[in-house]
Amino acid sequence: MSQHTRAKFQPSGRIQFGVFFQGVNSGTIWKAPESGSQTDFESFRRIAQTAERGLFAAFFLGEGLRLREHLGRPHALDVAGRPDAQTMLAALASVTSNIGLVATQNTTYNDPSDLAHRLASLDLLSGGRAAWNIVTTDNAWTGANFRRGGYLDHADRYVHAEAFVETAKGIWDGVYGTPRLPRSAKYRPVLFQAGDSPDGRDFAARQADVIFSAHPKFDDAVEFRADIVSRSLAAGRGANDVKIMPASEFILAGSEHEAREKKEWVRSLQIGPQQAIAYLEQFWGRELSAYDPDGPLPDIEPAVDETSETRGSGFHGAKARELTAQWRAEAAEKGLTIRKFVTSRTARVDATFTGSYSSVADTLAEYARVGAVDGFNISPWLIPTGLDDIVNHLVPELQERRVYPTEYAGNTLRENLGLATPVRSASLVPEPAR
């Protein structure tokens, strides 16, 4: 391709799906009669096989290396139990045949040679379906679980991440000597990235094949695409070289009315009274159990100067007094109760597509037409049945509109995402065993 065509972004007119099995947070409903278990292999198998029936490109797992805390105790409202991603994906490799297997792994606490070997192993045993979702992790508390401890400043985290990824690539390339494994079907694992700061975006523009983004809303998605295209060009890559798949949630039904009712039900189970109070306690830094979840926001001052969400992240360092005063004013102005306010902040409202199968398919077809995204990484709100209506009803609507695959392009993740096989930068790598 000429320099000129590489510099111009061309919408593919297609979208793909990934599924993000979240498990641990309030986005997944564990209290419904049909809810499964968050650790049982059966839950993972069922979701992965349903996704594969719907020709999904990828199955994602997140990473959290420490239980979340709340007011100095393990977060009682969190679901404890997230199996190690690579172990789970290795097991899933044996009960699936086409879907990509994406492990989120952070560069701050892992070690490159160890991680590169484990990812190469997954890629080899799955026949070229492995991917690494590179994160730096925003969870400062994790350090206490590691002997070397410590956490890096934001800027240092990306400097470290860059060196880490270059080292991993060097290992796969055989730069440091003969690698411990032969090459996999498509040379090396696909690289995803999740992290949204300017440093994170530049890092992705240099290193990633796909960004797991936080920008699913149409205008925001278009803006994010333009930003990533310009960063990719600045990094010497082509305008189409970095794919984008935002986090998303789908609440679908046969009619608009039914979908809206379903959404109310989903939200009421995602953010119950206890979850709403616990959420505010993170920002007030004190017990708020005496407050009515269906009443106004607490009219007392926070007990801390700086807020800290349970993950030790996000608003960490924000001025608690200012933030809570701002929230009180906003909730009062909009007439929101504690529960309604927390729902509006936490339920990934911006990432939710609600509607009939056909109207949501029309919406997604428009994303495909302009190339706002390359796909969506869907978090099911129910496990293990949460993808059934997407696969049974939404996928056929998208196929009718010719924006969704009707078969897998191949057996490897690179083929299914339309990614080029990386160019070998070293000649030392042995050919795969046949």
Ligand X SMILES: Cc1cc2nc3c(=O)[nH]c(=O)nc-3n(C[C@H](O)[C@H](O)[C@H](O)COP(=O)(O)O)c2cc1C
Site for ligand X, rule CB under 6 A: 62-64, 104, 106, 135-139, 194-197, 199-200, 212, 214, 247
Q: Closer CB to ligand X, residue 109 or residue 341?
A: 109
R_g of the chain, CA atoms, integer Å: 22
- Under DSSP, the state recorded for 19 is E
Q: Closer CB to ligand X, residue 195 or residue 302?
A: 195
Any binding-site annotation on 75? Answer: no
Q: Closer CB to ligand X, residue 98 or residue 106?
A: 106
* CB 174 to ligand X: min, Å: 29
* CB 176 to ligand X: min, Å: 27
Any binding-site annotation on 268? Answer: no
Q: List all residues 6 or more positions away from 121 whose beta carbon is below 8 Å from its beta carbon.
A: 90, 181
Q: Closer CB to ligand X, residue 110 or residue 354?
A: 110
* CB 192 to ligand X: min, Å: 10
- Under DSSP, the state recorded for 306 is B
* CB 10 to ligand X: min, Å: 25
Any binding-site annotation on 197? Answer: yes
Q: Closer CB to ligand X, residue 50 or residue 139?
A: 139
Tell me how far CA of residue 266 lies from CA of 24, 221, 269, 379, in angstroms. Answer: 16, 25, 5, 13
Tell me how far CA of residue 427 lies from CA of 170, 178, 338, 433, in angstroms. Answer: 12, 10, 61, 16
Any binding-site annotation on 104? Answer: yes
Written as six digits, the tokens of 370 are: 């302009």
* CB 233 to ligand X: min, Å: 20
Give the CB-side neighbour count of residue 49, counting CA atoms within 13 A. 12
Residue type, position 385, single letter: T
* CB 164 to ligand X: min, Å: 13
Q: Closer CB to ligand X, residue 135 or residue 252?
A: 135
The helices-and-strands tally (H runs, E runs) of the chain is 15, 11
Q: List all residues 6 or more positions away from 7 whose beta carbon is below 8 Å from its beta carbon.
A: 233, 238, 239
DSSP calls for 273-304? HHHHHHHHHHHHTS--TTS-TTSPPP-S--S-
Q: How far apart are CA 217 and CA 92, in angstroms?
A: 31
Residue with tokens 């803006």: 223
Q: Closer CB to ligand X, residue 153 or residue 333?
A: 153
* CB 238 to ligand X: min, Å: 23
DSSP β-bridge partners for residue 213 = 246
Q: Which residues are annotated as a binding site?
A: 104, 154, 158, 197
Q: Which residues are annotated as a binding site for FMN?
A: 104, 154, 158, 197
